[in-house]
Amino acid sequence: MSVLIVGSIALDTVKTPVEEHTDQLGGSASYAALGASFFSPVKLVGVVGDDFPQSEFAFWKERKIDAAGVQRVPGKTFRWSGEYAWDMNTRETKSVALNVFEHFRPTLPPSYRATDFVLLANIAPALQSHVLDQMEKPRFVVADTMDLWIETARADLDALLPRVDLLILNDSEAREMTKETSLIKAGKRIRAAGPTYVAIKKGEHGALLFGEDEFFSCGAYPLEDIHDPTGAGDTFAGGMAGYLAATSGELGFPAFRRAMIYGSVLASFNVEAFSLERLRTLTRKEIDERYQIFRSMSQFEVVA
């Protein structure tokens, strides 16, 4: 089953304590679409400028990512630049140039409107709602969000939440949204605001999943070296949504557990290289092997 993905498409300049790379493919939709494409065909929605490399469209085609919904408009592509601190956990945004993204108003091609699965990757919640408004009757809606929207577009976000089946956000965002210190309380409160499922990402500490009287907790895949954390959360969301779309016949809690592990696995590969470089050459076989290692690291036996 296809998954429609809308979000930002950017050219990123990222600096870490050891490397710097300029104008690499980035943006929430780029990471999410590639993450999802390992499991399901993707219909991508976004906007790029006339400076955007045509080679990326060729790559998307090869990956079965339908880019009919990616508008190319006159002007420059959205650019973001950030720098990571020595611990790779904190980053500073050095510059943002919205460019063609500033007036982006996603319009779905007619061929997209009947898609059953939707991932509203991280963009303004008003745009996320605008995409849903154009859809016929999506069966399952995943949304990602960020601190910026919690702080500056809270009413739009609150209006979106009842339309969302699975909300994905990180730990600090969950605390900010609910004013709860306990992530357990925060997850439950966010569920009460609309989403049937809530996934809270905790970076190197893994992720939590909240459902109706159901709870799942997983660690992160252990990595010794992280080269570029950019897009890890978007890749996680893409992997999770892509896997769920692929198992669309079965949307019970066991499928959500597996989806969260796949999201974590995808994110762990993503941070091993700059930009999307690791994901470009990744194979489903490598993903499944890491899933099995993940499982062997997390299992323990029943006791009497």
DSSP 252: S
DSSP 283: -
Structure tokens at 236: 């996680």
Count of residues touching its own copies (by CB under 8 A): 42
Query: Please, what is the minimum distance in Å from the beta carbon of residue 124 to its own copies?
Result: 30
φ and ψ at residue 9, rounded to 5 degrees: -125, 125
Q: Rank residues 93 and 299 by Cβ distance to its own copies and give the closer one.
A: 299
Q: Rank residues 148 and 297 by Cβ distance to its own copies and give the closer one.
A: 297
Query: Please, what is the minimum distance in Å from the beta carbon of residue 95 to its own copies?
Result: 26
| Nearest Cα to Cα of residue 32 among 227, 243, 195 | 243
Q: Rank residues 205 and 280 by Cβ distance to its own copies and give the closer one.
A: 205
Q: Rank residues 54 and 181 by Cβ distance to its own copies and give the closer one.
A: 181
Q: Rank residues 88 and 141 by Cβ distance to its own copies and give the closer one.
A: 88
Q: Please tell me whether residue 253 adopts helix, strand or coil conformation.
A: helix
Among 204, 272, 277, 286, binds its own copies (CB under 8 A): 204
Query: Please, what is the minimum distance in Å from the beta carbon of residue 222 to its own copies?
Result: 4
Region 169-188 residues binding its own copies, contact defined as CB under 8 A: 181-185, 188
Residues 6 or more apart whose CB falls under 8 angstroms from that of 291 comprise: 261, 262, 265
Q: Which residue has the tokens 């050095």?
A: 94
Region 220-279 residues binding its own copies, contact defined as CB under 8 A: 220, 222-226, 254, 257-258, 260-261
| Nearest Cα to Cα of residue 125 among 173, 168, 157 | 157
Among 54, 55, 74, 87, binds its own copies (CB under 8 A): 87
DSSP 281: H
| Distance (Å, whole) CA 55 – CA 36 | 20
Query: Please, what is the minimum distance in Å from the beta carbon of residue 246 to its own copies?
Result: 11
Q: Rank residues 5 and 218 by Cβ distance to its own copies and give the closer one.
A: 218
One-letter amino acid at 85 equals A
Region 284-303 residues binding its own copies, contact defined as CB under 8 A: 288, 291-292, 295, 297-303
Looking at 9-107, which runs of residues are DSSP E strands? 10-15, 20-26, 42-48, 65-72, 79-84, 91-97
- Site residues, its own copies (CB under 8 A): 86-88, 181-185, 188, 202, 204-206, 208, 215-220, 222-226, 254, 257-258, 260-261, 288, 291-292, 295, 297-304
